[in-house]
Amino acid sequence: MFAYAAAEGVKLRIDGTEVQVRRPAAGRPGRRAFVSGKKKQNTIKATAVSDGAGRLLWLGAFRPGRMHDVTAVRTEGIEDLLRRHPDVQAEADSGYQGLARDFPAQVSAPPKKARKDAPPEEAARWEQRRHQQSSQRICIEHAIAEPKQWRSMQRWTGRRDYFEPTALAIAGLVSDRAAAR
């Protein structure tokens, strides 16, 4: 995917999504790892990458819901791919500000929010920059929404062991359908 983006000059969009899963059995080690800090539910987190047209290019980095977005990307090796392909550009949401800090020429994340006591013109400038960056990365939200239209991706009721292959199959079908348009 990174070699393709480098060769074709495609700007990638990166974002994470969570799917609610059944609660692990009582007494099972690692039970708390699935509780998401954002959704306050048991979830599995996946990372998605799309292009500017909203086509899903990759779905992976499946991790328990407690793991932060940027940590999942780093453990999956995407940080190393950014180092190997310095000409690849990416847009990300605020969950990836650490990645944007480490790769300022490659990864763009929304600006940090203006302080409460900031002058109104600074707050307006922040809002304008945030809106501009948000409109550039909306296509990843649409790319994530397509697989989530499938019932099994809205709330996974099966065994967590089978979630990853099912999600990859659905992502493949969605990606093929988007390429055929």
Q: What is the pLDDT of residues 104-155, one digit of tens each?
A: 888 888 877 778 888 888 888 878 877 777 777 777 777 777 787 788 777 8
Return all residues near 96 (Cβ < 8 A) that are at least 6 apart. Answer: 14, 69, 70, 73, 107, 109
Using the predicted structure, report yes or no on whether residue 32 has a pLDDT greater than 60: yes
- Dihedral of alpha carbons 110, 51, 47, 100, sign: negative
Using the predicted structure, report yes or no on whether residue 15 has a pLDDT greater than 80: yes
Using the predicted structure, report yes or no on whether residue 179 has a pLDDT greater than 70: no
pTM for the model: 0.79
Tell me 124's DSSP state.
H
For the record, the structure tokens of 55 come out as 């086509």
Using the predicted structure, report yes or no on whether residue 178 has a pLDDT greater than 70: no
Tens-digit pLDDT profile for residues 44-101: 888 888 888 888 888 888 888 778 888 888 888 888 888 899 898 888 888 888 888 8
- The three-state secondary structure class of 96 is helix
CATH number at residue 149: 3.30.420
- Please state the domain count of the chain: 1
- The three-state secondary structure class of 4 is helix
Sorting pLDDT into bands at 50, 70 and 90, what band is 2?
Answer: confident
Entry field: residues in the chain: 181
The range of the structural domain enclosing residue 154 comes to: 2-180
Residue of 25, 56, 21, 24 whose CA lies nearest to 39: 21
- Determine the Cα–Cα distance for residues 16 and 32; give it in Å rounded to an integer: 20
C-alpha to C-alpha distances, 38 to 18, 96, 150, nearest whole angstrom: 9, 15, 22
- The three-state secondary structure class of 164 is helix
**What pLDDT shows up at residue 180?**
52
Angle ∠(97,90,137) on CA atoms, nearest 5: 85
Residue of 170, 127, 128 whose CA lies nearest to 148: 170
